[in-house]
Amino acid sequence: MTITHVTDGDTMDVRFSDGQEETVRLLGVDTPEVHTETAPSEWEGIPDTDAGAAWLRNWGENASRFATTELEGETVQIRTDPQADRRGSYGRLLVYLSLSSSSDDRSFNQRLIERGYARLYDTDFSRRDEFAAAERRARDEGTGAWGFAGASQVTATEALADSGQSVPLELVRIHADAAGNDNENLNDEYLVFENTGTETLDLSGWTVADEAGHTYMIPEGMTLAPGEQLTLSTGSGTNTQTELFWDADGALWNNGGDTVIVSTATGTVVLRESY
């Protein structure tokens, strides 16, 4: 069967081999809403404030982009759970979903939780304990939506950006063409940013995205002093104050051209550069 449309991070349409179409809802997970508001009270540790709601709205959009990039047009496998309801309250089929082309035995449902795009939707299903453990790990590590970076106040850097003033963050190098096979040398694909201003920039919760919607969120507490540079590598590694790792599954930056988009935690675009 094929994914024909992604509604949001946890809901999509599939077409079966006989041409029949069905709307499916991913079992056991809940991503933040994009078409309505998400109550921050549903997410442990996210304050019930305007900033908390804006944070979850942004992460709902991130989850939708991730699902669209990963799934739309792809051949997938779905299965129901005999311990769970077959359909939800809106009549959607409740399923575990996996990519047919992937050797990863984890469901897409579980991947959403592990990456912080979704919380556990606490109903009766056979993999509840496994999903709950994955949510605890993501929450403890501040992964994705759990890494809220604005509980107390908007940073001075964000206030500067949101006021429409220029933020002195420059993209000084784009190394899109890694040596050899890009997908086998992910850490030789990287971006280098520099603070060209006179004040320290607080980058907590900011995002870096490409034209296709792949999005990386900068960890809470990440700052960049005047004159300092920060490298964002596509592959995996241990984050430091001068180098971050996207932990992507494959190459991101198109060798023939792409656009780098940097936004604050509240969604204001502060840098957009095409190459």
Choose the weakest-confidence range: 19-23, 236-240, 264-268.
264-268
Judge whether 267 lies within some domain: yes
Which residues are 274's β-sheet partners?
A: 259
CATH number of domain containing 128: 2.40.50.90
Q: Give me the catalytic one of 57, 92, 119, 139.
A: 92
Q: 17 and 66 share a domain? A: yes
Residues 6 or more apart whose Cβ sits within 8 Å of residue 147? 116, 205, 217, 219, 220
Asked whether residue 120 falls in the same domain as residue 165, the answer is: no
Checking if the pLDDT of 59 tops 50, the result is yes
**CATH number of the domain encompassing residue 255:** 2.60.40.1260
Is 139 in the same domain as 7?
yes
- Domain end point (choices 146, 165, 183): 146
| Cα-Cα-Cα-Cα dihedral sign, residues 152, 158, 162, 165 | positive
Kind and range of the H or E element at 11?
A: strand 11-15
55 burial level (CB within 10 Å; 0-12, 13-18, 19+): buried
Residue 175's domain comprises 156-274
Mean pLDDT to the nearest integer, 156-175 = 80
The string of pLDDT tens digits covering residues 76-124 is 999 999 999 999 988 999 999 999 877 667 899 999 999 999 999 999 9
Question: What is the token pair recorded at 30?
Answer: 């809940």
Chain segment 10-46, per-residue pLDDT in tens? 999 999 999 999 999 999 999 999 888 888 999 998 9
Tell me the C-alpha distance between 201 and 199, whole Å: 6
Whether 114 is a known active-site residue: answer no
Whether residues 168 and 69 fall in one domain: no
Q: Reply yes or no on whether 25 is catalytic.
A: yes
What burial class does residue 86 get, using C-beta atoms within 10 Å of its C-beta: 0-12 exposed, 13-18 middle, 19+ buried? exposed
Number of Cβ atoms within 10 Å of the Cβ of 91: 9
Among the listed residues 33, 61, 158, 189, the single catalytic one is 33
Token pair of 97 as six digits: 């979903």
151 inside domain: no
* 137 tagged catalytic: no
